[in-house]
Structure 1
Amino acid sequence: MGDKRSPTRPKRQAKPSFDDGYWDCSVCTFKNSAEAFKCMMCDVRKGTSTRKLA
């Protein structure tokens, strides 16, 4: 009974930045192909943060 691991609890996995070959624009939320370096709708670069700096 010294084993504290739970066999029923799945490991948490970080959500990938894109799934199924697509990535969502952080500005307009358009679903772009994985090959696109910038959004096809608003020309924002892939991975651009919308967080405002103080």
Structure 2
Amino acid sequence: MGDKKSPTRPKRQAKQTADDGYWDCSVCTFKNTAEAFKCSICDVRKGTSTR
């Protein structure tokens, strides 16, 4: 079996954004303010999945 080591994988890091206080619409990708509960452009609710 020898001295083989398993390959090291880079650790996943939390997505850091310089745009704290904003969220991107999952439909039209508009950058909305954190206070907005729906997109200012297309009226999709915050956190709506596109699946």
Give the alignment's TM-score, normalised by structure 1.
0.62
RMSD of aligned Cα (Å): 1.9
Question: Which protein is bigger by CA-based radius of gyration?
Answer: 2
Please list every run of at least 4 consecutive aligned residues from structure 1 whose deviation after the TM superposition is greater than 2 angstroms.
10-16
- Report the count of equivalent residues: 40
In percent, how many aligned pairs have the same letter?
A: 90
Determine the C-alpha separation between the residues in 2 that align with 1:29 and 1:12.
24
- Report 1:33-44 matches (<5 A): 33-44=33-44
Determine the C-alpha separation between the residues in 1 that align with 2:33 and 2:13.
23
Note the alpha carbon deviations across 1:9-53, whole angstroms, 9 max, x for none: x8633337xx410000000000000000000000000000001xx
Instruction: List runs of 5+ in structure 1 lacking aligned partners.
Output: 1-9
